[in-house]
Structure 1
Amino acid sequence: RPAPAIIDRELVTEPVQTGTLAIDTLFPIGRGQRELIVGDRATGKTTIAVDAILAQKFNDMICVYVAIGQKTSSVQRVIETIRTRGNPDRCIIVVARPAEAPGLCWIAPFAAMSMAEYFRDRGQHALLVIDDLSKHAATHREVSLLTGRPPGREAYPGDIFYVHARLLERAAKLSAAKGGGSLTALPVAETEAGNLSAYIPTNLISITDGQIVLNRTLFDQGQKPAVDVGVSVSRVGGAAQSPILRSSVGTLRLDYAQFIELEAFTRFGGLPDTHVRQQLARGACIRAILRQGPHAPLDLLQEVALVTASQNGLLDGVAAKNIRTIQSGLGDYLRSNASEISTAIESSGVLSAEQKERFVECLRQYVEPRASAAS
């Protein structure tokens, strides 16, 4: 059957909280969006996708994870993570092992998509992770060559673009007349040596509504998740971001991009002036709060608090290694000492001017003594 027609779709305006601060603040994803996760092998692509599943533990999204040709040990780790840290009762896992017949590996993402569509068409919300389409493309090439189809670029048959486009176009936010359900797709693709211009990554980038690009150099430097802010993009962006998070982010992305350029420039020597030193301190703070451990998604309150503290300069004098310690108890502190504001952030997502001032002051009271103790 065909994908939902354009007239049956609604604008993508509701956020999908992935629990990964670098994504929710810089490249927000909306319900009904298709956001590609792309990067070299072993750079944390599956970790980001699984964290997005874990972040749906207490909301109304049903998650479908499909593993195509993944190692059994890797799939087992994903299953155990979802069982121990997520909500396995609201998650479907589809597995096509490498030893399966090519036809079964080929049809696996379509089977998973049909399961996600079942919930979308009933007015519910689904999140589909396809891990990964590079292996699916290789399976499609295998089947096509076995059946005598002529090879094209990189020996892939010419219809591989059509196959993936027809699969991913089913992700949509339906209109109220069609039930108002949504299907959000997070396809994964693998690159070699960071080459985004390869055939399959190029195809998928043109099909999807943005891409989260993971950088091998950043990963090796310990910046995890290794999101490359210069190449990553979300074509829905702030339109689907939580209002309170959007107002808190402000110039975060611009500040971080400027910091990366300034840091590279100052490596060549010379003492920067006071203004540049302040920019470097703020950028180092942003980089520290964007660093996050695996399978520990943040909730909306924690994300808003960290971004607000950073943008108001509360963390500028704190060493990067101590920010993780300050971050650990922040959510519990705010729920205990600013319960009204915390409830407003988690429910309506809107704060009055007075509440914003009290929120910043509460953050200051939490951060300052801990920053001085840590230093």
Structure 2
Amino acid sequence: MVNTRPDEISSIILGQIEQYDQEVKVFNTGTVLQVGDGIARIHGLDGVMAGELVEFEDGTVGTALNLESDNAGAVSTGDGLATQEGSSVKATGKIAQIPVSDAYLGRVVNAPAQPIDGKGRTAASESRLIESPAPGTISRRSVYEPMQTGLIAIDSTIPIGRGQRELVIGDRQTGKTAVATDTIPNQRGQNAIRVHVAIGQKASSVAQVVNTSEERGAMEYTIVVAETANSPATSQYPAPYTGAASAEYSMYRKQHALIIYDDLSKQAQAHRQMSLLPRRPPGREAYPGDVLHSHSRPLERAAKLSSQLGEGSMTALPIVETQAGDVPAYIPTNVISITDGQIFLSADLSNAGVRPAINVGISVSRAGSAAQIKAMKQVAGKLKLELAQFAELEASAQSASDLDKATRNQLARGQRLRELPKQSQPAPLSVEEQVATTHAGVSGCLDVLDIGQVQGFLVQLREYLITNKPDFAEITRPTKTFTERAEIPLKEAIKEHTESFLLLQKQI
């Protein structure tokens, strides 16, 4: 038996008292009153914030959506099947955020930024709120730096600048996703990253985007955020905000980010579903009153930052699907009002085999020539005007029986100019190739060709320039201007190639 002296006991007790650290943990908890369709009504979550993350008893995470006087409505980010009435809910005090890192490049993730490509977890030391304020007026500068897409139809007539928001709109199966993804290979080596947000798309379509990106070597600077058609509305809705947060991470690190929202029509439908289930008041076409705000929040975050912030940029290409060409519908007009222009893809052109099926006449870029390389500005000034005049003349000429020679010549020129923007997929063109192609059209060099010969002629002309007149590219590429010195070898190349091409056609 060990004898313990009283002074030893008192010293032990004193030591314990000195080491005692009083810590009070306060949890904001509530109880589930009703649950169904991924929506839970919770009583007792006093002081919960709008958009705050809440944790259910089964470990499922939700977001507080409706804040009413006696209860809060929360949407579950999981299937919510294990959540039951009477179970407890705990407020986390956190707004939704995602991990961000360069390690996410080349990966496919879901809305909470968890990898879903089977390549394991990704380490990230930083995180960003998925909802963050857009850069203010002082933090921005005017859009001035061109974002070359490699597509003549866009770069010559509807130029896009870094930091711009350009809507891609059209009916289904008109090539909207293809136009957006065809801009990707041209971003290589330009300190640029790309975020492709797939909302409510078929899993096979997302897989095709990933496979195509890997084949083109673009996946190494790409992040794909995918919430497919079988994902619940509560997962599809935050996907654009996750993509915007990932792109912002690069923008504030002096990089250039290109984000594609494919497409915002599906996100609006998910938002409508999320709002109708908690019995929020419906508005036009049953969409909630804040559906415009849900689109403006991610799109307004696109910006060209000021010199003080490093001149990083985030360029947004939102995609909206129309029904039977109904552009004045609710969602298309909302997004048009937010963006800096639109690229309209026509079902008629698509059915006629025109690729890309861009209707140049009604497409517009509000950045205009400020976001265009000087060389393109010099040669493409007349192109859009002539195409618009041709479309108008073509419509009126159908009812005219007798046309004068000048009108016939203008129609013939327009038919050949309409062949210029046609490109195979994917075949992005360099600046000098676009300048040469556009100049050949607007200068009338294609007038001597049959319409069916134009595409073959232009492809061979670009090859002829590379092999026989390399000085044209050497003059144009560094300065991005079309000078008289550059015009001389181009005119020589067009003349020589036209003679050999026509001679070959006669022999055939």
Conserved 8 A contact 1:322-1:374 = no
More helix by share: 1
Task: Specify which of 230, 234, 243 is matched with residue 365 of structure 2.
Answer: 234
CA distance in 1, matches of 2:414, 2:166: 26
SS in 1 for 2:281: coil
**CA deviation profile, 1:160-194 (whole Å, cap 9, x unmatched):** 10111111001000011011101100000001111
Task: Specify which of 43, 62, 70 is matched with residue 174 of structure 2.
Answer: 43
Conserved 8 A contact 1:64-1:127 = yes
CA distance in 1, matches of 2:456, 2:364: 30
- CA drift at 1:359: 2.0
- CA drift at 1:238: 0.9
Change (3 A) 1:13 1:189: same
CA distance in 1, matches of 2:204, 2:260: 18
Conserved 8 A contact 1:14-1:31 = yes
Partner of 1:9: 140
Higher relative contact order (CA 8 A, sep 6+): 1
Conserved 8 A contact 1:130-1:186 = yes
Q: Trace 1:126-141 onto structure 2 (pairs within 5 A).
A: 126-141=257-272
User: 315-324 or 144-153: which moved more?
Assistant: 315-324
Partner of 2:232: 101
Task: Specify which of 329, 350, 354 is matched with residue 481 of structure 2.
Answer: 350
The one-letter code of the counterpart of 1:64 is V
- CA drift at 1:374: 3.3
CA distance in 2, matches of 1:153, 1:343: 56
CA distance in 2, matches of 1:137, 1:226: 25
Conserved 8 A contact 1:308-1:360 = no
Aligned pair 1:60/2:191, yes or no?
A: yes
Partner of 1:148: 279
Structure 2 stretches of 5 or more lacking a match? 1-131
Aligned pair 1:310/2:456, yes or no?
A: no
The one-letter code of the counterpart of 1:359 is L
- CA drift at 1:20: 1.6
- CA drift at 1:86: 4.0
The one-letter code of the counterpart of 1:152 is G
Aligned pair 1:301/2:432, yes or no?
A: yes
Partner of 2:221: 90
SS in 2 for 1:315: coil
**CA deviation profile, 1:297-325 (whole Å, cap 9, x unmatched):** 22212211110111111111212222222
CA distance in 1, matches of 2:146, 2:502: 32
SS in 1 for 2:419: helix
CA distance in 2, matches of 1:59, 1:360: 31
- CA drift at 1:90: 1.0
Partner of 1:29: 160
SS in 1 for 2:303: coil
The one-letter code of the counterpart of 1:178 is L
Conserved 8 A contact 1:133-1:188 = yes
Conserved 8 A contact 1:322-1:371 = no
- CA drift at 1:93: 1.1
Change (3 A) 1:368 1:117: farther
SS in 2 for 1:8: coil
**CA deviation profile, 1:168-227 (whole Å, cap 9, x unmatched):** 001000011011101100000001111111110000000000001111112112222222
Task: Specify which of 210, 222, 230 is matched with residue 79 of structure 1.
Answer: 210
**CA deviation profile, 1:248-267 (whole Å, cap 9, x unmatched):** 11211111111112222222
Identity %: 45
Conserved 8 A contact 1:18-1:52 = yes
Partner of 2:323: 192
Conserved 8 A contact 1:43-1:216 = yes
The one-letter code of the counterpart of 1:235 is R
Change (3 A) 1:104 1:371: farther
The one-letter code of the counterpart of 1:292 is Q
Partner of 2:119: none
TM-score, scaled relative to structure 1: 0.96
TM-score, scaled relative to structure 2: 0.71
SS in 1 for 2:315: strand
Conserved 8 A contact 1:225-1:291 = yes
CA distance in 2, matches of 1:266, 1:84: 46
Conserved 8 A contact 1:281-1:317 = no
More strand by share: 2
Partner of 1:224: 355
Change (3 A) 1:33 1:287: same
Conserved 8 A contact 2:476-2:486 = no
Give the alignment's Cα RMSD to 1 decimal: 1.5
The one-letter code of the counterpart of 2:466 is R
Structure 1 stretches of 5 or more lacking a match? none
SS in 2 for 1:213: strand
**CA deviation profile, 1:255-309 (whole Å, cap 9, x unmatched):** 1111112222222242322211221121111111112222222221221111011
